Amino acid sequence: MSYIGTRLEAALSLLKCENNTLFADIGSDHAFLAIEALKRGIASQAIAADINEQPLLKGRENAALHGVKIDFYLSDGFKAIDSFRITSAAVCGMGGELIARIVGESKACKSALLVLQPMSAQEELRRFLWDSGYEIFTERFVIDAGKPYTVMQVKFTGVRTEYGYIDLYLGRERAQSPEFSAYCKRQLIAAEKRRLGIIARGDETSLIDSLIEYCQTQTTSF
């Protein structure tokens, strides 16, 4: 198993594209994605950006340890590097609403291949992407340290994607697997809690009932 874990391994696998000349690791933490992207030949150059100085210092140490050249930038999302000709970028390990803001504020995202890995509010990120002309080409479900995650490969097309309620919470790509089943179980627990609040307000429950029913069928598959 790689030292970066299955979550970031999935992100790396989705970063592969033709003419990937400049990869940007946004919210880089220890810069492991940028380091591995260079070591594996996924990108020819890499930059790392973080809103805090300490992760950048650690990233520089790790880059030197692995013998790769990475340029580091103190930046809120893409703001300090948005004029660069970025061909691919990863925004991983943040809440879905924060990722949506970062992507929405960036011009570079309109032309780069994006890999996004939300830790929460996945439905809000999917809603933003589909409403804003971004297409989720691939959505991969993985388990890392016992927890299920989703990793999305995204590109701006300018075409709004139609979606349903279940799509927001589970995505449109739902290949049956133990990983997707675990993801559905997590969504099921959250949906059942939300349903209690909906009932308390006296609101209609048909949409969340459909999500709960679908999740139940998937959590018994494996």
User: For 133-186, what is each residue's pLDDT tens digit?
Assistant: 999 999 999 999 999 999 999 999 999 999 999 999 999 988 889 999 999 999
**Domain closes at, from 135, 163, 191:** 163
pLDDT value of residue 17: 85
Range of the domain at 203: 178-219
Q: Is residue 173 part of a domain?
A: no
Rounded to the nearest integer, the mean pLDDT of the chain is: 94
pTM value? 0.94
Would you say residue 1 has pLDDT above 50? no
Would you say residue 3 has pLDDT above 80? no
- For residue 136, give the nearest of 66, 63, 81, 118 by alpha carbon: 118
Looking at the structure, tell me whether residues 157 and 52 fall in a common domain: yes
Q: Is residue 45 part of a domain?
A: yes
We report the CATH number of the domain holding residue 107 as: 3.40.50.150
Looking at the structure, tell me whether residues 159 and 182 fall in a common domain: no
Place of tokens 């959590």: 219
- As for how many domains the chain has, the answer is 2
Dist CA 222 CA 217 (whole Å): 10
Provide the pLDDT confidence category of residue 188 given band limits of 50, 70 and 90.
very high
Looking at the structure, tell me whether residues 116 and 22 fall in a common domain: yes
Looking at the structure, tell me whether residues 155 and 203 fall in a common domain: no
Looking at the structure, tell me whether residues 183 and 116 fall in a common domain: no
What is the tens place of the pLDDT at every residue in 110-132?
999 999 999 999 999 999 999 99
Looking at the structure, tell me whether residues 182 and 140 fall in a common domain: no
Q: Is residue 171 part of a domain?
A: no
Looking at the structure, tell me whether residues 12 and 82 fall in a common domain: yes
Looking at the structure, tell me whether residues 64 and 149 fall in a common domain: yes
pLDDT value of residue 219: 81
Q: Is residue 66 part of a domain?
A: yes
Q: Is residue 44 part of a domain?
A: yes
- In sequence order, what E strands does the chain have? 23-26, 46-50, 71-74, 88-95, 113-120, 134-144, 147-156
Q: Is residue 24 part of a domain?
A: yes
Are 195 and 167 in contact by the 8 Å Cβ rule? The answer is no
Looking at the structure, tell me whether residues 40 and 129 fall in a common domain: yes
Looking at the structure, tell me whether residues 58 and 115 fall in a common domain: yes
